[in-house]
Amino acid sequence: MATILEVQNLKKYFQTPGGELHAVDDVSFRMEEGTTLGVVGESGCGKSTLGRTVLHLHESTGGKIFYKGEDVTHVDKKKLRELREDMQIIFQDPYSSLNPRMSVSEIIKEPLKRKGGRSNEELEREVERLMDLVGLAQRFATSYPHELDGGRRQRIGIARALSLNPKFIVCDEPVSALDVSIQAQILNLMKDLQDQFGLTYIFITHDLSVVKHMSDAISVMYLGQMVEKAPAKELFYHPVHPYTKALLSAIPIPKVDVERNRILLKGEITSPVNPKPGCRFAARCEFASEECRNPQALEEVKEGHFVSCCRCKEFV
């Protein structure tokens, strides 16, 4: 498999009145074409900022981004336009990201129209094809977003994201606003589309159970940093980082022979503004010691399983 995306020491800092907010701080990972990387963590840990920075919707503060082998960290307008076609985003709430005054057909058509080069008739045919692709009946072509339920609205968001034949999609909580029964339908659709077009997904969610079946690998973020990354099953069944264990303990997993007691996190979340060196989770970690004040990088504890914790060897 070919590497499609490589991110090295990526940083995105925001200037705030209180100082520099480290939303994404030294994150590195690599993705093979056609795979899904699940990105999980609590609200504010930097998942969306990571996704948006990879897509050049935010300018990075530091680090490097390689896409299809090319350094795209800093690009000119022409290259940016090219990347924006190839790399798309699907949002959590399709309602707020879809223009309420445009019909379904107009919404899906818009990116194609902007790109140009197609006659009206070709555009109409393309919209029909995209609606079929995402399972939206043609009778909804003239409907407006508010007339449709959440699942159908998300199908519009997906059709629109697919309209320019992208290869890479950041899915930012795409099912979090949907009922559980509809979540499964949308996840299945996304999986089918991935298989059909060889798409690569970064799948962002705060809900670990959603990415379990979707992801090849899962990375856990805490305050702007990746604290653990492993193949999906490995992460679920052999978590190492105390934070990952706490996250996993919060979801009920039936028929697993490991005993799972709910771990309740105590202590305050450290501020992402001007963070000190050392483990950012230490303030809430029951295993924290003096050593945790030292800077800590991801270490490979088993093949493909990386953990950022000075006691990770003990916890494997």
Ligand X SMILES: Nc1ncnc2c1ncn2[C@@H]1O[C@H](COP(=O)(O)OP(=O)(O)OP(=O)(O)O)[C@@H](O)[C@H]1O
Give the binding site for Mg ion (CB under 5 A): 48
Distance CA 286, CA 288 (A): 6
CB of 259 to Mg ion, least distance (A): 32
CB atoms within 10 A of CB 101: 9
Residue 44 touching ligand X (CB under 6 A): yes
Judged by beta carbon distances under 5 to 8 A according to partner kind, the member of Mg ion, ligand X, none in contact with residue 107 is none
Q: What mask, x for binding ligand X by CB under 6 A, covers residues 229 to 268?
A: ----------------------------------------
Can you state the percent helix, strand and coil of the chain, rounding each to 5?
Answer: 35, 25, 40
118 or 206: CB nearest Mg ion: 206
Reading the block at residue 75, the tokens are 């690009």
In this chain, which of 38, 46, 157, 242 binds ligand X, going by CB under 6 A?
46
CB of 106 to ligand X, least distance (A): 28
Which partner in ligand X, Mg ion, none is near 79 (CB below 5 to 8 A by kind)? none
- Cβ burial of 284 (10 Å; 0-12, 13-18, 19+) is middle
Burial class of residue 299, CB neighbours in 10 A (0-12, 13-18, 19+)? middle
Nearer to Mg ion, 13 or 285 (CB): 13
- As a whole number of angstroms, the distance between CA 4 and CA 36 comes to 12
Q: Which does 23 bind (CB under 5 to 8 A by kind): Mg ion, ligand X, none?
A: ligand X
Distance in angstroms (rounded) separating the CA atoms of residues 30 and 36: 11
Binder to ligand X among 151, 272, 296, 312 (CB under 6 A)? Answer: 272
Q: For residue 205, what are the β-bridge partners?
A: 40
**Using the rule CB under 6 A, which residue among 21, 40, 193, 230 binds ligand X?**
21
The nearer residue to ligand X, 43 or 181, going by C-beta atoms, is 43
Give the binding range for ligand X (CB under 6 A) out of 15-23, 69-77, 233-241, 291-299. 15-23
Among residues 184 and 269, whose Cβ is nearest to ligand X? 269
Cβ 141 to Mg ion shortest distance, Å: 31
CA 140 vs CA 9, 27, 104, 128, 144: distances in Å: 45, 42, 7, 11, 8
**Strand pairing category for 168-172 and 87-90:** parallel
Residue numbers at the binding site for ligand X (CB under 6 A) = 14, 16, 21, 23, 41, 43-49, 206, 272
